[in-house]
Amino acid sequence: MDAQGPYDVVILGAGPAGLVLGNLLHRAGVDCLILERETRDRVVTRARAGFLAPNAVRILDRHGLAGGLHRAGREHSRCEFRTDDGRFTLDYATLGRGEPHTVYPQQELVTDLLTAYETAGGRVRFSTGALGVTGADSTRPQVTARGPDGALEHWWPRYVAGCDGRHGAARRALPTGVRRQHRDHGVTWLAVLAEAPPSLDAVGYAIGERGFAGHMARSPRITRYYLQCERGTAAGDWTADRIWAELSVRLRADRYGPLHEGPIIERAVLDLESDVLEPLRHGSLLLAGDAASLISPCAAKGANLAVLQAELLAEALIDDLRHGRPGPLAAYSERALAHVWRAQEFTHWMVHLLHGTSPFDNALRRSRLASLRTSRGAQDWFAENYVGV
């Protein structure tokens, strides 16, 4: 077992937020330790996001963490809307700020970040789930965790960085009275990964009376699909045949060409929700990534926000711990929340573009789509927000 400190920073969670933070702190000579509840195998194979915004790529580049994504990631710059009024495509790299996404599966990014961290001598304990954080209002907070052998472990760092997602221990440790701004969008998706090549060379958004269907490339042989479904649906009720039949109808395969089908390798039900915790600092406990704010995956912002917040937090902690400048850490919450709310605002707009729950909503949606199809101003606004965090 590692010596139990005192570490400058204990980071909860080895997702994109925790690993970017760990890399930056470790390089700057800040003594840190990452505690991760899952096994290493689970962490490096968990498929989630795939679309990296140009700003996230620039951040990773700035710190020499983008080698893998430049080698294996692919530029992506088209999205196609399929509606009852026909289809149209936006080449968003020619609109707005003129920037594309990079498609690079999150598990590959996590693998790269973990390799870079460990190669540089960074410490991470897998199968070690934090149970609680106490004393956040002091300068020696305590993290209690259950280690791989089931024994309780305690850590007393100077700061705790809660990067352990929406169900982690950091959120549970927040004092009562913290503002949690929450929105249940009332929409449920079946998220599916198919071992099949992408069916179109664009992100596909199919909008219609049967509900939304989405298509997003992940790699030349893996594609993510989404199907809006009834709240309370069980993933197991969706057989592969039922999924492909429903996707074909909603994506209007009869008009625009058949889908490339293959085995369904993962299916999960997601209720679309958003929330933001304010502030993101509670004494010695700081939040970043999904632990700080949850965002529905409609506009692919979550992993990008996690990278951005991790850089902001790393710089602030380095200033505080290495240079004795506490100002940036005091400003961290406000700076990070400005980005969070901007991403939430656009994502909220996307939720309403893709789903309608009443005839009035549907009429608004149709009008929004018409603007997007015909107005260069609307297209530029869309492109800027779509690739931006």
Interacting residue ranges for ligand RFL, rule: CB under 6 A: 12-18, 35-38, 43, 48-51, 106, 129-130, 163-165, 167-169, 191, 270, 289-290, 297, 300-304, 306
End-to-end, the C-alpha distance of the chain in Å comes to 39
Does the annotation count 258 as an active-site position?
A: no
8 A C-beta contact, residue 199 and residue 159: no
DSSP classification of residue 28? T
* For ligand RFL, the closer CB: 42 or 140: 42
φ, ψ of residue 225 to 5 degrees: the values are -125, 150
**Nearer to ligand RFL among residue 205 and residue 252 (C-beta):** 205
205 is catalytic: yes
Q: Which is nearer to ligand RFL, 173 or 206 (CB)?
A: 173
Catalytic residue (choose from 101, 301, 339, 355): 301
Q: Which of 159, 205, 225, 226 is catalytic?
A: 205
User: Minimum distance from CB of 360 to ligand RFL (Å)?
Assistant: 29
Residue 382 near residue 92, CB atoms below 8 Å = yes
Q: Rank residues 43 and 243 by Cβ distance to ligand RFL and give the closer one.
A: 43
Work out how close the CB of 364 gets to ligand RFL at its nearest, in angstroms, rounded to a whole number.
26
Q: Shortest Cβ distance from residue 188 to ligand RFL (Å)?
A: 12
C-alpha span between 105 and 269 (Å, rounded): 20
Asked if 227 and 189 count as a contact pair (C-beta separation under 8 A), the reply is yes
In this structure, what token pair is assigned to residue 50? Answer: 């795939």
CA distances from 221 to 67, 193, 197, 218, 311 (A): 22, 11, 4, 8, 32
Least spacing, CB of residue 88 vs ligand RFL, in Å: 22
114 or 252: whose CB is closer to ligand RFL? Answer: 114
Per the residue annotation, which of 282, 297, 339, 355 is the catalytic one? 297
Query: How far is C-alpha 318 from the chain's CA centre?
Result: 24
- Does the active-site annotation cover 301? yes
Q: Hey, what are 123's tokens?
A: 């410490």
| Count of C-beta atoms within a 10 Å radius of residue 296 | 23
Min separation Cβ 359 and ligand RFL, Å: 30
- Active-site residue (options: 76, 101, 282, 339): 76
Q: Show which residues are catalytic.
A: 76, 205, 297, 301, 386
